[in-house]
Structure 1
Amino acid sequence: MSLETVIRWVWPGIGRVNPDTVQRYAQLAREGLDQLDPVPDLRWRNGMLRLDVERDEVDYWWLQDAVRRGEELVQAGEYEQAGELLERAVRLWTSRPFADLLGHPAEHRRSIADADLWAPAYDVLLRALDGLGRSQDVLRRLDDLPFDHHRHYRLAVHRIKALYVVGRQRDAMGYVQAVRRALLDNDEIDAADELLRQHDLLRGSTLPTSPIVVRHNGSRPPERVAPDLLPQDVDFVGQAEPLERLHSLTTPRTGEPARGVVIVAGPAGIGKTALVVHWGHRVRDRFPGGVLVANLSGYSDRTIVDPAQVVDDFIIACGHRPDGSPQERTFLLSRLLGERDTLVILDNVRDNDHVRDLLPRLAGALVVITSRRRLTSLGTTVGARRITVRAMTPSDADELLITQLGPHRELDAADRAGLVERCSGLPVAISVATAFAATCPDGPIAEVADQLTRRRLVVDLGDQDGTVNVGALFAQSYDSLDEPERRLFRVIGLHPGPDISIEAAAAGDGRTMLDTNRSLAKLIEAHLVEQPVVGRYRLHDLLAEFAVYCAETDEPADRHATVERMLRFYLAAVTDAACLAYSTYLRPPGSAEIDQHPVAFVDNVHAREWFLRERNNLLAAIVFSASDVDLRRYTYRLGDPVATFCDRFGAHEDSLRIRDLTVRVTTLTGDHEDLTSSLLGSAMTKLTLGEVVDARRTLEEALRLAIEHDVPRGRSAALIHLGKLEMVRGDTAAAMNWWRQGMALVEENNDDEGRCWYHYRIATVLAANDQHDEAFVRLDEARRIALRIREQSAHAAILIEFGILHTVRGDHALAASHLARARGVAEGIPDQRETARACLALAELDIAQGRTANARGTIRVALDICEQTRDQVVEAPALVALGTVCHADGEIEDAISAWKRAADLYLRMGNITRAAAVHDRVRHLPTGDVAIPVSRPAGSQVTVDE
């Protein structure tokens, strides 16, 4: 396909799409294709996107071949073989072709698929089923079709014939009338006449019908009774959404019978049975044929209930004797259920096979299934629709807790909230907790509630006085799995973060992504693992506790190896991401031994997006590694790239927590180079947050270590940050002293990145001292190096300083050009601090030109960034600029408020001179016209005494 064709299919209606975007999606598609065996080849050739794959690996061609072969088998009378072949064929496509694509090309191809592929395939399948005498399966298959089969004449005839065979003459005649009416509305008069002709032929022919059961004494059976097997309703709370969904799916259009299959699925203990029983009591009047209920014991210790037994029980409940052969009893139940609308509830279904033979016998009723599994294939085989029951909301769980505690056992709101949080919205856990509270009548209930940890709820409580044990419920689902899936469940339990990707899961699992993905699908099917979004997996909180409990049965060495594989995955991936996102980032010592590249990053944008998705997992991995003496070697190596990302994204508090943790760990391990780096990172973040005193103390310790243990890069970084600290305090002479020492050091060590930053920093001092020409020379050299080494943050900072200098000199056009480029570079990295500084400098340029309205909006952007990142170094001058704009617009009170806040920040950072100048401005507010001050270079930020 050409690029234009791809865009027309995937992005219809959009004029142009960046080719890089298409390339990126193609790369992501390759990652998905890599999980197949054999792996198809997707690549660009001569400007065309080409997918090389074997013909028999493509479902479209396989289905066409199957239809052709099935036709031959039906012609030869080999109905069973034809049916098996076409059953496999139509299962290939569980949804319509290109279901997620809009626009004319996809819709046109879907219509072709309906007419030329789906309809012929189902025609052959239904002829095979008809040849086998399986008319109920014909109707089931027609209900399951993924397209409007009423438009296809041959399929409509199949339905009419099957309805006559199963004894539903009234339905057959109603169907003919409805389809004929639709054909006439579309002016398809010939088709409508042919439909009537076929109906007359069928009605006049001798068709096999369901037998009428006759008693041995020759009398007909008694009239059908309307059974009511619903258990007693419970004090049901919450779950409004699944209740409404169940009501919607089971409410037919006016005049239509209530039929079909609905699956109510969810993990053990989530309240599926209680929900269905409660709903059943609400709607029982809709079912004149009664309510039949069978507990199939899919996960209990009892023997799984046989479908034949269910048929006999239902016949008896309807007032009949289960006489005759199994086939006769099946026909009898089908007839009884088809006479009047009946609700059938099949509770606790284990898997698809458990009800595969039973469902065709219940085709005349509305069947509601509860199961811990998703029962995905029933959507294909019987057209089942599914509702997933999820954990209760905190408010619903709180209401359930109050209800179950009763009026004589009260907890205050705070204690209830803590208990609800530990029960994680699982009704069975709340029941266990309240039952435990009832067994401890002597102690204050708040103290009892405090004892209920998640581990106790899952493992220790229950199995007394008839109370269910939560862990035992989970174990039933867990034990039903094969060992690869049970092991993967334990692996996910050992994962330190809140969710996990397929790549991280495969790393911990120690198998291929393809094998791990297959096991994940089975865990999702069993409702032991959730998939909140595509490619992300997580455990419910209590299931996570159960997974850890199960993992404790493994050997300690195996558990350690599993966790270490996941830490190595995160270390390799985040280091690759940092190197790609920030070209001058240096891998921490020891990272080179990780030679794997587990994530194929397309570009730096992909790398940054990956970090944002994995941020919480990475933070958790760092904390976990620090807690295990055998894994502490990962703490700094993970922490350094993660903190680097956090700094650039403005997450300074996260960065500081990481740096302080790595300081503690590297102090224990005695690695002086890592400790120096950690101290420097901590000091840099403290300085950004305005914690000047702590920052100085940390920098001095880092400099001492760097000199004592000969760490040149550490010494250079300490000197540059000490200079920055002095600039924050307003002492340009002290800053210049530190930076001249640092420049000599980087020249000695031939450190280009250091040269770049020192030239820039020295230029800010020169600019602050009005030595503009010398500052331009330094900035030109810094820019040349930054471009060569691709140091984007330095490039943005240098452009900002150029813009500030041009503003001071009155070259407003040049200033605007430099500052606009600086903002674009900073936002593209993204670097939140440099973005805020660029916005502030643009605002100062607007102030210099009297454009206060423009300045106000840009200052607000800078202040919003500072508020998110807690960057007080940039926030203080931004507040000064805001006060200047407010004052110029006559908003005196707002100006005073902004300046006072700025003065407080300057005092906190130790810049007494700047704080005093701001206070002076407040005290000596002019009463006449306001003079708009000219902004100063970056070193001095915004002056307040002009």
Structure 2
Amino acid sequence: MAELRVLGPVEAWAGDRRLDVGHARQQCVLAALLVDANRVVAVDQLLDRVWGDRVPHRGKGNLHSYVSRLRTALADLGDVAIVHRSGGWVLEVDPDRVDLHRFRGLLDRARSAPDPALGLAAVQRALGLWRGEAFTGLETAWTATAREALAAERWTAELERTDLALALGHHLDLLPELAERVRAHPLDERVAGQYLLALARGGRQAAALSHYEVVRARLADELGTDPGLALRDLHQRILAADPAVLAGGPAAPTPTPATGTPVAVPRQLPAPPGAFIGRADELAALTAALDDVDAGTVVISAIGGAGGIGKTWLALHWAHEHLDRFPDGQLFVDLRGFSPDGEPMPASVAVRGFLDALGVEPGRIPTAPESQAALLRGLVADKRILLVLDNAADTRQVVPLLPGGESCTVLVTSRSRLLGLMTAHGARHLNLDVLTDDESRALLARRLGAARVAAEAGAVEELIAFCKGFPLALGVIAARAHGHPHLPLATLAAELRELGLDALADSDPAASLPAVLSWSHRALTAEQQWVFGLLGIAPGPDTGLPAAAALTGLPPVEVGKVLRGLEQASLLTRDSRGRYAMHDLVRAYAADTTEELPPGERDAALRRVVDFYLHTAHAADRALDPHRETVPLDPPVPGADPWTPAGTEDALAWFDTEQPGLLAAQQAAAAAGWHQAVWQLAWALTTFHNRRGHLSEQLVVWRAGLTAAERLDSPSARIRVHRNLGRAHAALRQHEEAVEHLDRALALAERHEPTTQAHIHQVLAWTWSRRGDERRALEHATRSLGFYRALGNPAWEANALNMVGWYAAQNGEHDRAREHCRAALDLHRRHHNPEGEADTLDSLAYIDHETGRHEQAVEHYRQALVLFRRIGNTVQVADTLEHLGRPCAALGRYEEAREVWEEALELFRAQDRADDVERVRGELEGLGAAEREAEGAEGDAGEAENAVR
């Protein structure tokens, strides 16, 4: 029988054979999936559980490898599967096959057993599953926290076993164990109560009373408190020789006051929000948690998100919609975790408020906070009560307010993520995001009226774009517009454009977005405040960990901790790629806080991150094209710590992810006057932009590069900028501008850098070809070949040979073309240049097709395709697919031609290449006609053959 274990070493067993589940990290993956068996564990959550603050660069890749090996290791179990689901992994298994879930199931059975003997047997079987500490040998932040939580579950089970054994009259057998337990836990009142009960039932009432005095004195000395109500009540009953206690009855005292039993049904919920909009998925998730019969002892939903995102509104709206589910009342408290005028409310104050709301007489409320919390748990244990704990600071503030029993529901809202509440108490986390544009528009229409919103549709769209779905910002704007019904909404939009975030300030702190954000900011540590401010000026819409390390100058491990703290505070979000982002309004507030930084610190941070992007981009560019002309860079400033990709795949993935940040870094460098970095960033992006077809972006970065280069005393920089700007114009078929820049580059090169003329002639050849002048293209290609041969660079010579061959073919000189391309192919292969090899194979295929060698053309095109796909050149993949279709069609292989043309069409559409789309559509239509003609010819031939027969 399959068995999976975490209550001790992490193990998997097939019958009596233990399976090899790998090293500690792999065991940690298995443990992380087993704890949440049959539930999806998100990839980010798995990474955090396995590595904590030290997720490696290829963490997700390692995680996939571990999961793959675990699948292999567990294959023999048959009824166990690790399945990928959207956003994560789930281990599908019968819960009875996992010791942890069997442990919990047995405890549930014990608690519901009508006979104490059956209950005791079930608890003993549950405790017998433990083989030491949970996750023995695994040491991560998550295993430490989860181990502590599971140890608490085990301790509770031990106490429940003792209760049941006492109820069955086993007090004499228990005395040695309880004597040891009270020595180990001298302040635990439940343990003390069990020991007192065992002593009293064993005829040792005096010893019981004496031990009570010992406990009372210790509590007074160490905690400054008296024993709780339950222990005091048991003491009085032993003192009075109550037969019910000495002869049997409940094994452990519970806080059930003899008088003053609450009679009030609390109705503490504030009024529901009037302008509530949207949140259908979140409302459904809360209801689903309530309906989940396997939710545990109590349903706890923790609603998280930034200040002003609408957490309290969601909780109150949902609560009022489900009042019928809580007939015994609703309790509400604002815990003031993020308050403008004071510290968070102590949990003891909230407990006392709940006791008052439940109608407990003041004289019956114990003085000790622990006893008050125990009384609260006892009072609501069997009630169907909703507790809304709003604006919690952290898990410690919430735990004393959690009820006992299985019938209550708790909603907690907090700007912190409350991981401890999720880990130790099974809370369901629900993170609130911004409203959609449609929801934002509906909110404004509800507050201002549909007619006013429709009358100024343009201004409304501008307001929505500024707020980006942030509910408090929308609420502030709606309140102002509502208070000034004759004020045009366009005036409000203009105010936002002029004042920015300050336009959302208000004298009422609760209605001021800067004030609300300031409360969250004030709760941060000094280091978190500093990093938060710098992230507000970070280039790009989001930031990865290496860039954040460069921005701050902190080691990645340290800055990772700070970022997670800001995420916990709901000031940052982290996506599935591990990248951090801020809402634009939060980002604006963060940027404002940097005004308080010492002079120069803000610029130093920007310089570090710009150098990180610049040097990493150059390393990635070299990985894409190691034969490309090099540009010397100044050393990176200290703390920039650029990254070097392992190869082409890594480099392309980095560029794909970081392109928005790179463009923003270039803008930041331009604003700061770092002209050298501006044009060098454009240089580093060129190969990537060409391969991915980012033609408009290419033009933008080189225009910025030209502005920067004109402010430098560097002919070399201006030559490179004009050359690449000319190519960018040519790629967009802006021929006049292209030739103008290339001629300027050539004139500069003739005066300052004669050797660079080869590169310029090469671009001129391509540009004239795009203008339809193949003869001038061939002339420039031939001149570039002469220069390259003189330079003695075989990789560049190979490119020029292929270019001469291509343009010779365009001019009908097929023998010359084939000779040059074959020489180019040999050089590219000798010097390991896969891109040049692919380009040349494409040229040879074209020559083959033009000379009727269609089979050879198909073979050459297919070889080129393999290489273009391997290096990630999606532009050339699309072009080569289109070219491949032509010899396929010429050979009558119509299905093959249709397949490659349809793939080319899809790529051209994705690359916004409208002219290419229309051309391939025409080729597909022509292919259809050719197919019909071929079918007709086959039919005619068949009829003729039949006639002959």
**TM-score normalized with structure 1 length:** 0.72
CA pair 439-875 structure 1, distance change in 2 beyond 3 A: closer
CA pair 485-363 structure 1, distance change in 2 beyond 3 A: farther
- The answer (yes or no) to whether the contact 2:727–2:738 under 8 Å persists in 1 is yes
Instruction: Work out whether 1:732 is the aligned partner of 2:770.
Output: no
Q: Secondary structure at the match of 2:327?
A: coil
> Separation in 2 of the partners of 1:33 and 1:8?
11
User: CA-to-partner distance for each residue in 1:325-350, whole Å, 9 max, x for gaps?
Assistant: 23554444333212421111111111
- The answer (yes or no) to whether the contact 1:307–1:357 under 8 Å persists in 2 is yes
User: CA-to-partner distance for each residue in 1:273-319, whole Å, 9 max, x for gaps?
Assistant: 11111111111221121111111112211343232222222222122
Structure 1 counterpart of 2:613, from 563, 567, 570: 570
Give 1:432's aligned amino acid. Answer: V
CA pair 805-110 structure 1, distance change in 2 beyond 3 A: farther
> Separation in 2 of the partners of 1:159 and 1:599?
60
Instruction: Work out whether 1:672 is the aligned partner of 2:672.
Output: no
Structure 1 counterpart of 2:524, from 475, 481, 485: 481
1:61 counterpart residue number: none
CA pair 827-594 structure 1, distance change in 2 beyond 3 A: farther
> Separation in 1 of the partners of 2:700 and 2:451?
46
> Separation in 2 of the partners of 1:755 and 1:203?
103
> Separation in 2 of the partners of 1:418 and 1:620?
23
Q: Secondary structure at the match of 1:494?
A: coil
1:346 counterpart residue number: 389
User: CA-to-partner distance for each residue in 1:630-655, whole Å, 9 max, x for gaps?
Assistant: x2221111111113201111111211
Q: Secondary structure at the match of 1:825?
A: helix
Matches within 5 A, 1:162-561: 204=248, 207-214=251-258, 220-221=259-260, 224-235=263-274, 236-251=276-291, 253=293, 259-300=298-339, 301-323=341-363, 324-327=365-368, 329-359=372-402, 365-406=408-449, 409-410=452-453, 411-440=455-484, 443-453=487-497, 456=500, 458-464=501-507, 468-561=511-604
CA pair 703-321 structure 1, distance change in 2 beyond 3 A: same
Q: Displacement of 1:761 after TM fit?
A: 1.7
- The answer (yes or no) to whether the contact 1:584–1:790 under 8 Å persists in 2 is no
CA pair 756-834 structure 1, distance change in 2 beyond 3 A: same
> Separation in 1 of the partners of 2:769 and 2:299?
75
CA pair 623-107 structure 1, distance change in 2 beyond 3 A: farther
- The answer (yes or no) to whether the contact 1:719–1:739 under 8 Å persists in 2 is yes
Matches within 5 A, 1:132-171: 157=161
> Separation in 1 of the partners of 2:303 and 2:821?
67
1:612 counterpart residue number: 656
Q: Displacement of 1:547 after TM fit?
A: 0.5
User: CA-to-partner distance for each residue in 1:88-138, whole Å, 9 max, x for gaps?
Assistant: xxxxxxxxxxx9777899999965998899967979899xxxxxxxxxxxx
Q: Displacement of 1:376 after TM fit?
A: 0.8
> Separation in 2 of the partners of 1:592 and 1:621?
17
- The answer (yes or no) to whether the contact 2:376–2:403 under 8 Å persists in 1 is no
1:716 counterpart residue number: 758
2:111 counterpart residue number: none
> Separation in 2 of the partners of 1:876 and 1:259?
62
Q: Displacement of 1:372 after TM fit?
A: 0.9
Q: Displacement of 1:857 after TM fit?
A: 3.1
- The answer (yes or no) to whether the contact 1:576–1:597 under 8 Å persists in 2 is no
1:174 counterpart residue number: none
> Separation in 2 of the partners of 1:10 and 1:264?
28
CA pair 597-873 structure 1, distance change in 2 beyond 3 A: farther
Q: Displacement of 1:374 after TM fit?
A: 0.7
Instruction: Work out whether 1:827 is the aligned partner of 2:869.
Output: yes
Matches within 5 A, 1:923-942: none
447-456 or 746-755: bigger deviation: 447-456
CA pair 267-711 structure 1, distance change in 2 beyond 3 A: farther
Where in structure 2 are there 5+ consecutive unaligned residues? 1-18, 31-42, 67-86, 105-124, 135-145, 169-188, 191-244, 939-949
Q: Secondary structure at the match of 1:208?
A: coil
CA pair 108-761 structure 1, distance change in 2 beyond 3 A: farther
> Separation in 2 of the partners of 1:349 and 1:875?
56
CA pair 406-396 structure 1, distance change in 2 beyond 3 A: same
- The answer (yes or no) to whether the contact 2:266–2:357 under 8 Å persists in 1 is yes
Give 2:562's aligned amino acid. Answer: S
> Separation in 1 of the partners of 2:99 and 2:154?
12
Give 1:452's aligned amino acid. Answer: L
Give 1:708's aligned amino acid. Answer: R
> Separation in 2 of the partners of 1:162 and 1:437?
69
User: CA-to-partner distance for each residue in 1:509-541, whole Å, 9 max, x for gaps?
Assistant: 111111101111111110011002242100111
508-517 or 318-327: bigger deviation: 318-327
CA pair 158-746 structure 1, distance change in 2 beyond 3 A: farther
Instruction: Work out whether 1:589 is the aligned partner of 2:628.
Output: no
Give 2:621's aligned amino acid. Answer: A
- The answer (yes or no) to whether the contact 2:167–2:249 under 8 Å persists in 1 is no
Q: Secondary structure at the match of 1:857?
A: helix
1:599 counterpart residue number: 643
- The answer (yes or no) to whether the contact 2:607–2:637 under 8 Å persists in 1 is no
> Separation in 2 of the partners of 1:536 and 1:39?
13
Give 1:338's aligned amino acid. Answer: A
Q: Secondary structure at the match of 2:889?
A: helix
> Separation in 2 of the partners of 1:383 and 1:462?
38
> Separation in 2 of the partners of 1:732 and 1:831?
25
Structure 1 counterpart of 2:690, from 647, 668, 672: 647
Structure 2 counterpart of 1:685, from 724, 728, 736: 728
> Separation in 2 of the partners of 1:106 and 1:606?
40
Where in structure 1 are there 5+ consecutive unaligned residues? 13-24, 50-98, 127-140, 167-200, 215-219, 893-926, 930-946
Q: Displacement of 1:589 after TM fit?
A: 3.1
> Separation in 2 of the partners of 1:761 and 1:102?
54
User: CA-to-partner distance for each residue in 1:866-912, whole Å, 9 max, x for gaps?
Assistant: 444455896787577456435534699xxxxxxxxxxxxxxxxxxxx
CA pair 163-889 structure 1, distance change in 2 beyond 3 A: farther
Give 1:247's aligned amino acid. Answer: T
Matches within 5 A, 1:40-59: none
Percent identity over paired residues? 23
1:888 counterpart residue number: 930
CA pair 852-790 structure 1, distance change in 2 beyond 3 A: same
User: CA-to-partner distance for each residue in 1:538-572, whole Å, 9 max, x for gaps?
Assistant: 01111101111111221341100001100111112
CA pair 736-251 structure 1, distance change in 2 beyond 3 A: closer
Give 1:253's aligned amino acid. Answer: V
2:788 counterpart residue number: 746
CA pair 511-734 structure 1, distance change in 2 beyond 3 A: same
- The answer (yes or no) to whether the contact 1:580–1:604 under 8 Å persists in 2 is yes
Matches within 5 A, 1:753-772: 753-772=795-814
Give 2:839's aligned amino acid. Answer: A
CA pair 331-570 structure 1, distance change in 2 beyond 3 A: closer
User: CA-to-partner distance for each residue in 1:834-871, whole Å, 9 max, x for gaps?
Assistant: 32332233212113213334323323333443444455
> Separation in 1 of the partners of 2:100 and 2:296?
32
**RMSD (Å), alpha carbons:** 4.6
Q: Displacement of 1:673 after TM fit?
A: 1.8
- The answer (yes or no) to whether the contact 2:768–2:774 under 8 Å persists in 1 is yes
Q: Secondary structure at the match of 2:381?
A: helix
> Separation in 2 of the partners of 1:365 and 1:510?
48
> Separation in 2 of the partners of 1:735 and 1:558?
52
> Separation in 2 of the partners of 1:351 and 1:253?
27
Q: Displacement of 1:419 after TM fit?
A: 0.7
- The answer (yes or no) to whether the contact 2:675–2:711 under 8 Å persists in 1 is no
Give 2:448's aligned amino acid. Answer: L
- The answer (yes or no) to whether the contact 2:723–2:741 under 8 Å persists in 1 is yes
